[in-house]
A and B are shown apart, each in its own frame.
Chain A
Amino acid sequence: MHYSVCDFLLDIVQNSIEAGSANIVLKILEENRLLEVYVEDNGKGMDKEELEKIRDPFYSDGQKHSKRKVGLGIPFLLHAVELAGGSCNIASKKGKGTIVSFSFPMDSIDSPPLGDLPGLFLSSMCFDGNYELSIYRRNKEADIDYVLHRSELLEIIGSFNKADALLDLKDFLVSQELASGEVVS
């Protein structure tokens, strides 16, 4: 079972990449003790019937693993949302893409912790392929507001496969979670 919101998100982003998306938009917004998350892709999408089935943990389209009988990513998320009294909406169009959005009340004891955002962003960018990932992050109370684009970061660091480049990128991502003017040792 996933532990944090970041775990759910890495799973969803990976689904988007595996669905052949060229563009993925990830928004993580916190305001008034509500966490709102939105993932939009332009991958292969799903029809109404498939969309219904992804809620079933004992359903998998069998394309990735032909004998596998489970698909747990979305059922994990739905279970966590239901437990915490949040909300979740999944919309999809075959051939067009999918939008997954969900929210968690941050004061609920059953809401999962947000988790390691810089680690999520790093891993989300490091899958093979030429997809664009645009990240919008805002936490009004903490004075955090930034936008990241995978293509722009790749142009700067040169590679998502080299350890030294990834360490610099991780430092950069960690620093984005600081408020303007905030310095930590």
Chain B
Amino acid sequence: MAKMTLEQLRKLREEKKGEMDKREVEGKNIQIIVGMGTCGIAAGAKQTFEEIIREVDANGLAAQVVIRQTGCMGLCHVEPTVEVVMPDMPDTIYGRVDGAIAKEIVVRHVLGKALLENHIYDRPAVDIVKQ
């Protein structure tokens, strides 16, 4: 790899765009949200985020999945936290999500539609639930 220019990045994206357009589905309906507050950052949420990006791409899910970052979800004791929102599955917040668990979330929850039971922390902490 050599230093890439903005033009090279543009060209790379344009090459991939044609390929992606073929796979693009109407309205992405799966969201994976990574908590990136002070607590998440300290616990390694940045690595979790990057592992999710890699795994979503490796499994050909880029056209269906929106990957987002948010602040603290109120579960500081089990950071890094990841929320998955998708059809046919309950909205789920996972805790203690390191790289390996991040990979399992994509493969087992998103693709396999099964819950990772030992990592579920399904309700936000009481201080951030809207009254």
Q: Would you call A158 and B36 a contact (CB within 8 A)? A: no
**Which stretch in B11-19, B80-88, B90-98 binds the other chain?**
B11-19
Q: Which of B36-50 contact A (CB under 8 A)?
A: 36-39, 41-42, 46-47, 49-50
Check if B127 is an interface residue, CB within 8 A of chain A.
yes
Check if A109 is an interface residue, CB within 8 A of chain B.
no
Check if B120 is an interface residue, CB within 8 A of chain A.
no
Q: How many residues on chain A are close to B (CB under 8 Å)?
A: 53
A99 to B63, CA, bound (A): 39
What chain A residues lie within 8 Å of B66 (beta carbons)?
161-162
A119-B46, A170-B50, A171-B4 known; A11 vs B67 contact (CB < 8 Å):
no
Q: Would you call B2 and A175 a contact (CB within 8 A)? A: yes
What chain B residues lie within 8 Å of A6 (beta carbons)?
46
A174 to B61, CA, bound (A): 24
What chain B residues lie within 8 Å of A11 (beta carbons)?
38, 41
For residue B13, give the distance in angstroms from its CB to the closest CB of chain A. 6
Q: Would you call A65 and B72 a contact (CB within 8 A)? A: yes
A127-B69, A174-B1 known; A163 vs B6 contact (CB < 8 Å):
no
Q: Would you call A178 and B1 a contact (CB within 8 A)? A: yes
Check if B70 is an interface residue, CB within 8 A of chain A.
yes
A45 to B119, CA, bound (A): 38
Q: Which of A1-26 contact B (CB under 8 A)?
A: 1-3, 6-7, 10-11, 14, 18
When the two chains form the complex, which single residue of A67, A122, A176, A181 contacts B50, counting CB atoms closer than 8 Å?
A122
A123 to B52, CA, bound (A): 13
Q: Would you call A156 and B57 a contact (CB within 8 A)? A: no
Check if B105 is an interface residue, CB within 8 A of chain A.
no
What chain B residues lie within 8 Å of A7 (beta carbons)?
41-42, 46
Check if A32 is an interface residue, CB within 8 A of chain B.
no
Q: Would you call B38 and A157 a contact (CB within 8 A)? A: no
- For residue A159, which residue of chain B has the nearest CB? B66
A7-B41, A65-B127 known; A156 vs B46 contact (CB < 8 Å):
no
- For residue A7, which residue of chain B has the nearest CB? B41
For residue A126, give the distance in angstroms from its CB to the closest CB of chain B. 5
- For residue B74, which residue of chain A has the nearest CB? A65
Check if A128 is an interface residue, CB within 8 A of chain B.
yes
For residue B81, give the distance in angstroms from its CB to the closest CB of chain A. 14
Q: Would you call B10 and A156 a contact (CB within 8 A)? A: yes
Q: Which residues of B contact A (CB under 8 A)?
A: 1-4, 6, 9-10, 12-13, 16-17, 20, 28, 36-39, 41-42, 46-47, 49-50, 52-54, 56-57, 61-62, 65-72, 74, 125-128
A–B complex contacts, Cβ < 8 Å, 18 sampled: A7-B42, A116-B46, A119-B46, A122-B50, A127-B69, A127-B70, A128-B68, A158-B17, A163-B53, A163-B57, A164-B16, A164-B57, A166-B53, A167-B53, A170-B53, A175-B2, A178-B2, A182-B3
